[in-house]
Amino acid sequence: MKTEIKDRKIRMAIVGCGRISKNHFGSIEKHADNLELVAVCDNASSVLDDHAKKYQVPGYKHLEKMLKSEKLDLIVLCTPSGIHADQAVLSAKYGVHVMTEKPMATRWQDGVRMVRACDEANVHLFVVKQNRRNTTLQLLKRATEEKRFGKIHMVHLNIFWNRPQSYYDQAKWRGTWEFDGGAFMNQASHYVDLLDWLIGPVDKVQAMISTTRDIEVEDTGVLNVRWRNGALGSMSVTMLTYPKNLEGSITILGEKGTVRIGGVAVNDIQIWQFEDTRDYDEQIRTANYETTSVYGFGHPLYYNNIIDVLRGRAEPETDGREGLKSLEILIAAYLSARDGKTISLPLEY
């Protein structure tokens, strides 16, 4: 039984103060009644000093020193994906709950290692899947759970975004296999998550990838998918769209329904047609939202569940095992692209 935090604020630290961390700093501010930022950690001195000063908290260059010095309940890993595993395992050793940004790891065994370490330490491992909280996808999830599509025939996702060379040049770890992963693993990770979350367990995948930017990993790829329920689908991903992000979309075609959610980040319900009608169908007009950010607005909503779990009021919506589902698809896609083979899931029996 994990210890519940009842009569005080949840003490948090953010590790890695780069691009995505602002969503977490903002979420902590919105949940100030329940959350308290007590420290920050970053290996870049100027970045660390700026954030420590801005939020009036101690700054640490080394994670273990912070874990030893501060009484923490939860750390948030906003660091390069390839080092999430070691940082999660170390934090679990100190009895601290872990929240990690996507992807949870760049290797399958690292993801498994994170889950096992947190299990053994009796701490929670949360994997951020904030897009699930977007209003458009919440409606689509409800429709799939209620089986309104009947038999799903085909599913297609487009992620047509732009990441110029200057994006990859921001840091040495960007665009590397070891620390970052490519367009599928990094930029399209939340869309890969939809394959299992919305449609169900994946049976087989086939993938092809290519690279145009001056990086190790792919910036463009295509993925074919067969689900265990018989549905077929595909996914087209590129970071080469000119001149800016164009589309993040999902289309589902079933025997009794057709839905397409588009926009720059699945924020615009463009087609919503079903054989039957439900009371929430009227909500599609208000579910759409404007966004210039591919992250959407899900982080503060995602924190609602984190707080409820640590207070003992709820079960985790996206724990480590849930995170492994999309990591498994990602690893299978890369194995397929490398070897030119169809890869069957699960990876381990």
Write the CB contacts of 229 (distance below 8 Å, at least 6 apart in sequence).
Answer: 151, 152, 199, 200
Write the CB contacts of 285 (distance below 8 Å, at least 6 apart in sequence).
Answer: none
pLDDT in tens, 59-88: 999 999 999 999 999 999 999 999 999 999
- Comparing 291 with 37, which gets the higher pLDDT? 37
pLDDT of residue 1: 63
Q: Is the pTM of this model over 0.85?
A: yes
pLDDT of residue 291: 60
HSE (side-chain half, CA atoms, 13 Å) at 64: 4
Q: What is the full DSSP assignment across 151-209?
A: SEEEEEEEEE-B--HHHHTTSTTTT-TTTT--TTTTTTHHHHHHIIIII--EEEEEEEE
pLDDT of residue 296: 54
pLDDT of residue 190: 95
pLDDT of residue 209: 98
Q: What is the full DSSP assignment across 42-76?
A: -SSHHHHHHHHHHHTS-EESSHHHHHHHS--SEEE
pLDDT in tens, 237-268: 999 999 999 999 999 999 999 999 999 999 99
What value does the mean pLDDT take over residues 176-189? Answer: 96
Phi–psi pair at 68, nearest 5 degrees? -75, -35
Question: In Å, what is the CA distance from 215 to each residue of 48, 164, 167, 331, 336?
Answer: 27, 11, 11, 19, 20
Inter-residue contact 344 to 204 (CB < 8 Å): yes
- Comparing 62 with 298, which gets the higher pLDDT? 62
Per DSSP, 290 falls in state -
Q: Residue 349 — very low, low, confident or very high, per pLDDT cuts 50/70/90?
A: low
The total of other beta-carbon atoms located within 10 Å of residue 32's CB is 10
Q: Residue 293 — very low, low, confident or very high, per pLDDT cuts 50/70/90?
A: low
Q: String of b and e for 187-224 (b: at least 16 CB within 10 Å)?
A: bbbbbbbbbbbbbeebbebbbebeeebebbbbbbbbbb
What value does the mean pLDDT take over residues 76-103? Answer: 98
At residue 344, the 3 state secondary structure works out as strand
Q: Residue 298 — very low, low, confident or very high, per pLDDT cuts 50/70/90?
A: confident
What value does the mean pLDDT take over residues 320-324? Answer: 97
Write the CB contacts of 11 (distance below 8 Å, at least 6 apart in sequence).
Answer: 36, 38, 70, 71, 72, 73, 74
At residue 114, the 3 state secondary structure works out as helix
- Comparing 32 with 289, which gets the higher pLDDT? 32
Q: What is the number of residues in the chain?
A: 349
pLDDT in tens, 125-146: 999 999 999 999 999 999 999 9
Phi–psi pair at 69, nearest 5 degrees? -90, -30
User: H or E element: which one contains 308?
Assistant: helix 298-310
Q: How far apart are CA 218 and CA 270, in angstroms?
A: 30
Write the CB contacts of 26 (distance below 8 Å, at least 6 apart in sequence).
Answer: 299, 300
Mean pLDDT of the chain: 96
